[in-house]
Amino acid sequence: MNTRSAIFHRHYVRYSGGHQKVLDYFAHMVEHPGWEPRVFLAGERPLEHSNPWRIWQSRMLADYQPAGHQLAYLAGVDWQAYLALDRPADQPVINLIQHVRHADPASNVYPFLTERAIRVCVSVEVEEAILATGRVNGPTLTIANGVDVDSLVSHRRDGYLHDVYILGVKSRELAQQLAARLEAAGVSLLLHDAFVERADVLAAMASAKVSVLLPNPTEGFYLPALEAMALSDAVVVPDCVGNRSFCLDGENCLMPGRTPAELAGATLEALDRVNGGDMARFQLSAAETLEQHRLERERQQFHELLDRLDTLW
């Protein structure tokens, strides 16, 4: 099999779920015998210790020159760097679409929908949103986000440090109001309402009976919900559009409204269920959800895409 080269572009300042998923796809391509991926990493602190791209330092490029490769892989505003350079007119592009905001005319990524690309959407909700614009140039498909389930489960611990963990980085005021209500009810909790590294988030989920997650009102998928299903006994997370296909209210999580009162009520209900040993059905459903979203399945589907790239393009 002839090996073809692919170039990735990332502007890295600090960790995000979006960076993690591009990193996952880079690793998927490394595992494919027909492809040799490289990455150009821009940013203020591209190789600081917490940067997960460090493991691929041997595959990093000193500059970004898409023309020297058989495939360009883009996500988010990577298009800006790509379109600013000369490149073959017929160069295949795979574009990872990670948020429903790509379908919002007010967003900075909306204009790129008219650029020709094979678009990989992280959820059905994202694919439906961009297709509804009527602007998409090129084929689209959904590959639901996956997680490394075995690695996540290895973080689980015996016993708990807290009743509740609140991941409130994206909704600080709401998280603080919820924390105040829960503390008034005698609940011990850990609150993250400012940026922390992913390792700290996973450790916090594993330390609590219940994880309460506060995404933006709209997301493309929302990976922390899967991570919490693997690490906590119960998960509370509101609807954020992109989580509708795998967050099932009353089955593998509780999905209240986004008010402090609704969130507090659902959290106390989840805590009562955990303390009462009434979580078997929830945990079985969560385990099934995780099985359906293994990273291995995502890799397999991406490899299948690569194998038929020439037909799609």
User: How many Å apart are CA 2 and CA 35, to the nearest integer?
Assistant: 8
> Do 205 and 77 sit in the same domain of this protein?
no
> Do 302 and 228 sit in the same domain of this protein?
no
> Do 108 and 176 sit in the same domain of this protein?
no
pLDDT at 20: 87
pLDDT at 159: 82
Burial class (CB in 10 A: 0-12, 13-18, 19+), 23: buried
> Do 57 and 157 sit in the same domain of this protein?
no
> Do 97 and 163 sit in the same domain of this protein?
no
> Do 181 and 63 sit in the same domain of this protein?
no
**Using 50, 70 and 90 to split pLDDT, how confident is the model at 153?**
confident
> Do 154 and 287 sit in the same domain of this protein?
yes
pLDDT at 91: 96
Q: Which residues contact 111 (CB under 8 A, 6 or more apart)?
A: none
> Do 158 and 244 sit in the same domain of this protein?
yes
Q: What is the mean pLDDT of the chain?
A: 93
- Which has the closest alpha carbon to 212: 310, 220, 204, 133? 204
Instruction: Count Cβ atoms below 10 Å from residue 82 Cβ, excluding itself.
Output: 22
| Boundaries of domain holding 182 | 149-292
Q: What number of H helices and E strands is found in the chain?
A: 11, 10
CATH of the domain at 215: 3.40.50.2000
> Do 154 and 288 sit in the same domain of this protein?
yes
> Do 279 and 306 sit in the same domain of this protein?
no
What domain count does the chain have?
A: 2
Average pLDDT over residues 75-85: 95
CB 123 within 8 A of CB 245: yes
Average pLDDT over residues 57-80: 95
Average pLDDT over residues 28-48: 86
Burial 216-252 (b: 16+ CB within 10 A, else e): eebbbbbbbbbbbbbbbbbbbbbbbbbbebbbbeeeb
CB 84 within 8 A of CB 91: no
Token pair for residue 108? Answer: 């900075």
> Do 23 and 113 sit in the same domain of this protein?
yes
pLDDT at 79: 97
> Do 160 and 45 sit in the same domain of this protein?
no
Beta bridge partner(s), residue 140:
119
Q: pTM for the whole thing?
A: 0.90
